[in-house]
Every structure is written in structure tokens, then in C-alpha cells.
Structure 1
């Protein structure tokens, strides 16, 4: 008999080779098909199905049926798995994907009491959303951003059961929240947080939830004074392109993205929302959607070549987004994902970290440096008013030198 070494790695309790329980075999097979459709690799799919088989075994031991699957049951399952001497790694890495499958397949149900339970804090945020939409006429993207940055202030003055104590809301509490919420962000995002909080306070005042205007007491984040737009140099753009390997799918995607941002000046959100239907190859135009508006831009030769090279190797995805994730689930990228690619490439290129908006500034500055007008730059960037584009005139050194009076001469 072989004696086990005291230093041998412990193994988790194995599930039966033939899965048992209420989820076999139909639900497990359905999960395998769903994962394949989402683009998961066979190895990743096997780990997720294995976790689902663990859930099925646990449900059999606890006399649970398929129609009883809910958040409470999944919490009990996770707690049971974490109580073992050795916890399966899939409980941590695959639980979110398994939950998404159960929701998509209609197995993860919520009790009627959970559906109807809305706390006072949640109701307040919902009312604030309606006020911004109906009274202020804000776009949905703006509403989402302000709720993302400002809704936490409601939770800061709410009790454990969700009751909001508006009387606790004062300037000191607001400033503590603004400082903590903006700690991990830069100057621009901190200004957005202040705007969201002020909007929330104006709504609370107009609806009688607070009795005095607190917006004047909200401190401004340091360094929010408007600065000159900053682009990147030709050498930095070349460095970004050099680290994109066109022989790989991810390299072709990143190269097409960098080229498009530098030449067309797209916002990260505009690049993320770009779909295959927005490309008119016959006419040579792109339809750009952003800030609630649409405009068309011509496709330069270098942009068209890089875009074609990427689309030839673009993997099958769940939607028709031009720039898609390379990992499952393969779908349209988010604006933060687009900007994250540029940040990653700048790190690989060994240059200062930059993000997608710096490349947008570069496109506008290149137009003016090449002799273009502010109107042409405005059309490229999709600005509604020329005054918005006038910020780039401050960095057009060639034109500014022509206006400079030589020393000692009176105009």
C-alpha cells in the first residue's frame, strides 16, 4: 500500500463520474450548448459545467428542485462549498458565469417578495432618475453617469433597512462622500462626481426632502481649472502601432483601433458603439453615433486598410460590434475597455500612460497643424458649436505665431 506524503497537495471532494441530481442531464447539456454559443473555450466550459454538476449533487442531497433555484439557494450552496476543508477553485472563478446561464435559461427565479421589495433609498434614486429625464431633459447616458457617481450619497444617509434620513445630509457629509468617491479617480472624473452630487442636492431641495440648498457648500476638487488639450507626438503614435502585431487577431484589432482614433478623432464611446452596419464600404463613409447625435466621416486609406485587416480575422461574436472582446462572451466592447486598450499599449510601448481621449485631441490638433480650419476640426470631432472646438486654437502654434507682434514694434 502506497503511503500518502504529508506534503501532498490536498484535493477537493470529487463529484461522481456520472453526474447526478435534478440538473442532469438536460440542464447540464443546455449549459454546454449555451457556453459554446457564447464563445467559451472547451476548457473553460468544462470548468463551468463541473460547477453546475456540483450544484446538482448538492441539490440532490438537500432535496431541492429545479423550480426552487434562487439567490437564497445559491447563497446556501456557496456557503456549503466554502465550509469544506478544501474549496474547489471553480466556486470562485466560475460562479458568476454559472449564474448568468441560469438567468438566461430562465432557471434562476426571484420570489415575489424579492421582486416587490424596494427600499426607500432605491425609490429615491428612481425618482431622481425620473426628475432628470422629465424635468431636466437629460440624455440617458448622462443620467446613468450621474446615478453611478451620485447615488451612493443616498446610501450614505440611509439606515440598514434602506430608510433615508435626509436630516443627516449636511455640507460636511456631502464633502466626505465626494472625497471618498473621487479618491481613485483623476481630476476630470472628480469634477463629474461633484456635478452629480450637486444635481442630486438640487432634486432633493426641489422635492422638499431637504430644507436648504447645500450646493454652495460642496467643495471643488483641486485642479479642475480647464487646461489646454494635450495630444501625442508622431513618435508616440508610431510606438503604439509598433507594439500591435498584425499577425495576431488581437494585434490587428488594436492596430485598427489606434489608427481610427488618431485619424478620425473618435471618442471611446463612439468607437465602442461602432457596428458593422455603420460601415458603408461602397461610399467610403462611417456613421458615428455619440452624445445623442449622428454624423458621417470619410474613411481614410490607412484606416480602411487597418479596418479591413481586422475584420478578416474578427472572430464570430454575439453582436455586430466592430471592436469585440477576444475572450468569451465575445460581444461589443465598452468605452472603458476601448480606453484600457490604449493604456495597455502605451505600457507595452514604454511611453507615458495615455488613454483614448488623448488620441482624439491628437486628431484635432493635426487638422489645425495641417492648415485646416476650426470648422473642419469641428466637423471631424462632431461638435455642435464651433466655440467648443476653439480650445484647440490655443495650441495651434503656427497660427498664433502669425499673430505675434515682434518685440519693439507697435501694431
Structure 2
């Protein structure tokens, strides 16, 4: 935004209009900015981002924007992730979002990528600056994306040395134990939902689906009316790379029925829709936002959707269920992912503890 504002002011000074935006005009802008006594840091770090925005917004021709080698480099990297690593398009897009800006830092004014300028200090400076507005988890994703970019550059000959090992690890990325929610807190969330209103019925159904079926917030957002098998009492869930079917408990079915009777006409067939226009499928963040808002109204500690998912898994183990049953409920592909919940199954762990002073046999 800062760089776009500087571009707008410069265009007013030279008498250029929106229709005059081109690569040649941007080159003139860069020359003018770099001639100042104090060059704004965004001129060096954000030119590629601004070019992509102007292209997507239709102000810069696709042919002009693709003339430089930066776009082909990113496209080549994406092709490598797709063909050699087998990553999904969503993962590829996320890694480009986090790491493509590193190429902008080492791109000359003529659009040529200066690979020889990349070193550990420059890469770590980019990682620190890129991760500044994000939390711990997103910073870890940024580091992972940058390392992937550096490994690709090494394998394709753009770099002559491996820099990925020199990328600093963000602090605090060690995962802790899953944290569930107490029964009293779940009851408090449900108590502040007014089932007589549409929004109250929706929020109550969201909470029960999360805490009883252990769905992810994204899975709840993607639920369609066609996923509910009322005749057999089942719910078809599309998760991370797999689909599985879960039985609908009585209280969940009643909550869904109460909500669907009040659900307004919408633009799509999503189960949970926005209450304001455009009435359509809710975003993943909106599902988690419902739980956070209810926890604030209930006066309990902040709770988000994924903690309710943890609560469902821990409830299975507390009731005597196995890890295999918890795995099926959560829709995990690998049992190793579900093993984290074994660490919080205190009742099961106590049976394995050797009493003090006794020798295990």
C-alpha cells in the first residue's frame, strides 16, 4: 500500500494516468525513487508484489508483467513443487504467498534475478521481516516455504550452495499437548445461544457439531445440505485429502434441525450461511469466530474451534475408546497423528505406571 501510494503521487507529478501504466512506466518510477537521497525500503522489497497486484487488478497487461524473469522463476518453482514434491495446489499457493517475495528482494530493475546476492543473512532478514505481523505457526510456515524455495534453486542450478540449513528456526514452534475444553465451559457456550433466534440456533448447531463430531472449522464451513443423510442418520465429511462418514448423534441432529428450520434462503447449499448479505457459505475463520465470540459472551477464557475438536477426541479416550476410534472420528489419515492424544489420556497412562518402589516385570 505504501508503494502504491508513492506510485500514485509520482504519476500525478509526471502527468500519467491509469491507462498509462506499463512496465516502462514502472521502470521510470523505480529510477526516480532510487535517485532520492533516502530510498524507501518498499521500492526494493515490494516491487514484485505491486506488479502482481496491478496485473491481477487489470491495470498492467499480462504480457508486460510476464516479460521479466521473476514470473517464470515462480512458475518454474510451482511446477517443481507440483511434479517433484507432489504438493496440492493449496499448499503451493500458500508457499508462493510466503516466499515469492524473497525473489523480489534480489531482482534488479531490469527484472533479472540476481541469485548470487542470496546468502544466509539476507534470507534470515527476509524471514524476520515477512513473519513480523504473523503468529508462531505462520512464521513456521514462512520458514518452511523459504527452505522449499532454496532447495528448488539449488536443485535447478540457480544456487551453487545449500542455504536452507542456514535459515533460522522461529522460536516457540514446539507443539504442546492438545488442550480440550471442560464440560462446564461447553455448557456455558451453549447457554448463551438463544435457539429461538436464527443466529442463536446456528451458533448452537456449530458448537455441537464441533464438540460432538470433532470436525475442523473448515470442514464445518464446507458442509453442504447434500452431505446430510437424514434417512440413515449420517453425515458425509470432506477433510484434508479424504472423505469419511460419521453418525449423527441425537443432540446434533436436533440442533441441525432447529437451525435449518430458521435458515434463511441463501445463494448456495451450505449448511451454515452468513446472516447478512451475501447469504452464502461461511468462511473457516467465521466458524472459529463464532466460538470465540460465544466464549466472550459467556465470560470464559477465549476458546476457538480447534479446541472443541480436541475435546471430542479426548472424550473418546476418556470414555474408554481406542486410538483407532479417535482416528476415525477425527478423520486422520495416519495413526501417528492421533497418537498425540494418548499423552493426555491420563486414565490410560496410570495403568502403565509402575508403583513407586516396585520393580517392573
TM-score (norm 1): 0.70
Q: 1:203 aligns with which of 152, 155, 163?
A: 152
Please show how residues 389-400 of structure 1 align to structure 2 within 5 Å.
389-400=338-349
Contact 1:278 1:286 (C-alpha < 8 Å) held by counterparts: yes
Whether 1:72 aligns to 2:18 is: yes
Q: 2:196 aligns with which of 225, 247, 263?
A: 247
Residues in 2 aligned to 1:110 and 1:391: alpha-carbon distance in whole angstroms: 48
Q: Which residue of 2 aligns with 1:378?
A: 327
Cα distance change on mapping 1:353 and 1:166 into 2, 3 Å: farther
Q: Which residue of 2 aligns with 1:405?
A: 354
Shift of 1:146: 1.8
Residues in 2 aligned to 1:239 and 1:159: alpha-carbon distance in whole angstroms: 58
Moved over 6 A (4+): none
Shift of 1:362: 0.9
Contact 1:230 1:362 (C-alpha < 8 Å) held by counterparts: yes
SS, match of residue 403 in structure 1:
coil
Larger radius of gyration: 1
SS, match of residue 211 in structure 2:
helix
Please show how residues 90-239 of structure 1 align to structure 2 within 5 Å.
110=58, 114-117=61-64, 118=66, 119-159=68-108, 162-239=111-188
Name structure 2 gaps, 5 residues minimum.
1-16, 22-55
Contact 1:191 1:221 (C-alpha < 8 Å) held by counterparts: yes
Q: Which residue of 2 aligns with 1:318?
A: 267
Please show how residues 281-360 of structure 1 align to structure 2 within 5 Å.
281-360=230-309
Residues in 2 aligned to 1:180 and 1:249: alpha-carbon distance in whole angstroms: 44
Residues in 1 aligned to 2:109 and 2:239: alpha-carbon distance in whole angstroms: 39
Q: What is the aligned-residue RMSD (CA, Å)?
A: 2.3
Shift of 1:376: 0.3
> Deviation digits for residues 34-83 of structure 1, max 9, x if unmatched?
xxxxxxxxxxxxxxxxxxxxxxxxxxxxxxxxxxxxx937x9xxxxxxxx
Aligned length: 307
Residues in 1 aligned to 2:74 and 2:282: alpha-carbon distance in whole angstroms: 27
Q: 2:316 aligns with which of 367, 370, 395?
A: 367
Contact 1:139 1:292 (C-alpha < 8 Å) held by counterparts: no
TM-score (norm 2): 0.79
SS, match of residue 353 in structure 1:
coil
SS, match of residue 197 in structure 1:
helix
